[in-house]
Structure 1
Amino acid sequence: MDSGTDVDSGLDSGLAEAGAVLAAEAARFASFGWMRGTSGNLSVVVSRDPVRLAVTASGLDKGELTAADVVLTDAEGSAVGAGRPSAEAALHARVVRLTGAGAVVHVHTVASVAMGRRRPEGIEFRDLEMLKGLGHKTHEVAVVLPVIENSQDMAELADRLEAALRPGMPAVVVAGHGLYVWGDDPRQARHHAEVVEWLLELALAG
């Protein structure tokens, strides 16, 4: 068996495992009400060399995904082989390249859309214990969650996200759209999403 076949076999195995993980994560987010209808998408890095991501397939109910409902994409978010990934796959791929993340979450929450409208300049959080959930060692910090203008052009949206990235905040709000969050792996990405959404709900209630 040649090395190319070995790589393909490894990717196939990794894609199946990633699919199972993303299906479970998607079901959990759907249960929160953060992936209504067919909205939202998730990804996880399957390989770093070459860069390959498993991205949830387009147009499916995220509460009913199976391990087969993912598509392998390259470093630009284009499909490698069969299937059609989420339209935002290119943005997931850019986040991975920019941050070194191992997983990306995109959800549509009421709080992210509402606060994006209220604070288009960005949403500051300070002196909150929950900020430790984003990796800060103390609550005595101030961090800003960036808000960027939406676009149907994923390259343009990715450029806006790149320009808006802030240290200590693994997330970005897309105005009128939703929330992108990332982490080292799907579990950490989910934890970050839960923390950021809690912060947004607190700000919305204030």
Structure 2
Amino acid sequence: MTERTTGPGTGLAEAGAVLAREAARFASFGWMRGTSGNLSVVTNRDPLRLAVTASGLDKGELTATDVVLVDAAGQAVSGGRPSAEAALHARVVRLTGAGAVVHVHTIASVAVAERCPEGIVFRDLEMLKGIGRPTHAGEVVLPVIGNSQDMAVLGDRLEAARDPDMPAVVVAGHGLYVWGADPRQARHHTEVVEWMLQLHLARR
């Protein structure tokens, strides 16, 4: 059976079902503890609309209705209350053309960022193929940016630091933002980047 995904033109209920499933997967890994983290998927490009997981809910227990539709500024168009970070999801989509964004709070991302505040370098890893990079073609840097409660400031930092070869960034002391063309690719990118971060920890 082919796994269904979402994209522009997707209904809010369908997008909510996909996000609930993806959130449950990440929560099962311990990457969305408590009510932390959020996921989004683009449902329309013009005007830009994103379905974002609702704020304050256990991400392992979401249903298809636990989603908010937001605009290009991350403001709610319909549904409940989105996370303040919805604005950063929208910024990532506008900046990268992504179709889905994942934000998880992993131990590895925070720990490695503390050790490598100037950026985390990966090289000579077969898993680099999972983010579309050749295994032995130089190095790839996962940017690390300082945290802020102001999403405009955080978005500016992300835009200034991001590496086009790396579909992810670490927010210091906070967690990992990853994106992809659709929820499936964003999930794969997240799992690959997290694997490399865990390897970095294990080597130290």
User: Taking structure 1 as the reference length, what is the TM-score of the superposition?
Assistant: 0.93
Which amino acid is the alignment partner of residue 185 of structure 2?
Q
Largest Rg, 1 or 2 = 1
Question: Deviations 1:77-120 (Å, cap 9, x if unpaired)?
Answer: 10003311112000000000000000000000000000110000
Q: Matched residues in 1 for 2:135 and 2:174: separation?
A: 31
Which amino acid is the alignment partner of residue 32 of structure 1?
F
Counterpart contact for 1:128–1:140, Cα < 8 Å = no
Secondary structure of 1:120's partner?
A: coil
What runs of 5+ residues in structure 1 fail to find an aligned partner?
A: 1-9
Pick from 16, 20, 23 the counterpart of residue 23 of structure 1: 20
RMSD: 1.2
Q: Matched residues in 2 for 1:81 and 1:194: separation?
A: 30
Identity fraction in percent: 81
Q: Matched residues in 1 for 2:127 and 2:51: separation?
A: 30
Q: Matched residues in 2 for 1:100 and 1:158: separation?
A: 15
1:186 corresponds to: 183
Q: How many residues align?
A: 196
* Matching of residue 14 in structure 1 with residue 3 in structure 2: no
Which aligned pairs between 1:97-136 and structure 2 lie closer than 5 A?
A: 97-136=94-133
Q: Matched residues in 1 for 2:120 and 2:32: separation?
A: 23
Pick from 170, 176, 200 the counterpart of residue 173 of structure 1: 170
Q: Matched residues in 2 for 1:82 and 1:172: separation?
A: 28
Q: Matched residues in 2 for 1:183 and 1:139: separation?
A: 22
Q: Matched residues in 1 for 2:129 and 2:138: separation?
A: 9
Higher helix share: 1
Pick from 34, 37, 53 the counterpart of residue 34 of structure 2: 37
